[in-house]
Structure 1
């Protein structure tokens, strides 16, 4: 490591932080630092090492790979996304084992790793690097949703994905692929039914074997546009699967708290419903245009809000139906089902309250397009959810969610 290069990096970072790093707004910090770095190729290795250190600092503050990349993509541009992806990949390669869910997040980033980068001059490259580093060092601490890399992990040996989850994935994939809405809706309803049964089986097994399960947490991205409606949909899916969701609008994600089997169900179903809801909205817009009526952003927002509102009712009804059916049929553990589920609900609520002590329930208003609301409700109403009939009609356009004042908003 070049001592001269190290000194150059230190001078560049000092210049960056001394002026607030407002390079894109006319400040001198980024420009000064980039000029120093561009003139000294011996600083490159040390500059990269510092970047990996900033990534590690993000992990220690509660961030995970998907969270960081999502924020970089929103606040900077694709050049910075490629830079941070390379840093994350290099930093995480040194760990023997990674926390749960990290492997999936890193796999999603892998497509960008190793791709040929656009050629650029040294000053432009250094400018982008310093802009990225400034974002990384300013990341605040988040509520942790799992251990950081390098922490000893006591995980059971991997035995492959349960067959039930494989079936659920297949049903949702078919629902997303079909061009026939009633078929998609029936497939999704069946998937929710299987999820509810899987959750019940897992809860009874944990109780019977004294497995000592405790609630965990994960983060799910909630991206613009129409992020309010998307967050409400996620909250509805979480509630139907015995989880709790808290939306952090400032950083574009919701934290979902629940037991592992239920968290997996929420991740799968929310992703699929977003795909299906967007497709249904596109079809509704096409019908409106064909009838000579111009559709607007308010139509799309109202559509997705109605879709989330009604789908939440129907998913919850499906879960109640499966739970009642499981408790009504004699079998091993059936007598203990309701107490077991009640205990899990209390545990999830307690974990959520400890993670987000200032979170409160609130209402969201703003649905102003009656046609959008009607079409969105109809799209969700068509779902053939077992036990989901008779949930009532109408709706006010209000959604309920959990927020934390100043950070998490719904």
Structure 2
């Protein structure tokens, strides 16, 4: 954190996930250890080797029917997440200076569902029959732009598209905009809809997905020796970030403070993580330095934990490198065990889960952790939620291409924490 950077707090949460829609429902589902993985219903999967995913059951009636026809599902879910976050924050953008409010909502694939539908139209009926709304529906910045249009936001807005780090990158970018004085309020997060024939088929032929079709609720099992791949999901997550003085002035409820953000690149392989977690370690160290915290001051990590053999191992090795002697006392869980992996949405949804863990003093579990890998030297929160108040928590996101991001949240305190001497 720059020495004179403004403090940034979280005042609203808008999760749209396979285990629940809205902050309260989502939080309760985590603590109950509920799985949102089930057979896919959005299209016929009988010819696919993988037939399970995390589908979202969301009421989209708050969107105008005409508007919905011109929005890909990923943008619809993002709009719902933004609406829920604003409601949770008790914040009406119409009461704010529109030039001081922005949006930064990412998507790793954008409107792929619309693209696949319109590609079939083009190939079967000719290119002149393609929808004139195809481009604005499929562009990855559609979610950010639609949210800004809906609420009249004229501040700085952008959209990240960095595979599985997308949501975390968006939140980190929004943090910087507020810290540096470009905005006072940011709506930020990620949204992705991955349940399309092309995406399911592509990940399937890569052998990246779990094939536990007959046991879907137990398919996503991060850190378990029986893990056999991740489970695709759809969803969205939007958080309201505010400059502390702005939040205090309106008497906002403050969930937590966002004090650190770190990024790095493995520069190793296009799909495999660095085997020793080199890049992941660097991202976490940079988040700690940004927040001016020492490793022992972090009590919980919401891991990227996708349930792949290589990815989970690399992440735990990275945690051990960063946290050293503190690692065996570091509580770690992966909420992807319940939600599945929503790529660009996951970093935002897991940031929400991390904030809720800090605020409530209860850590969410990794479910399906029946046979923990014995080589992992961290304190895995297995199968049941754990009452444990921590002062600081990390949320990790790692992506194809070797991209890494880490967000560091702290329990909110009115007075600035005394800096401990960590390099900024």
| Bigger fraction of residues in helix | 1
TM bin (shorter chain): under 0.3
Larger radius of gyration: 1
Q: TM-score, normalised by structure 1?
A: 0.27
Q: TM-score, normalised by structure 2?
A: 0.26
> RCO greater where, 1 or 2, for CA within 8 Å and sep 6 or more?
2
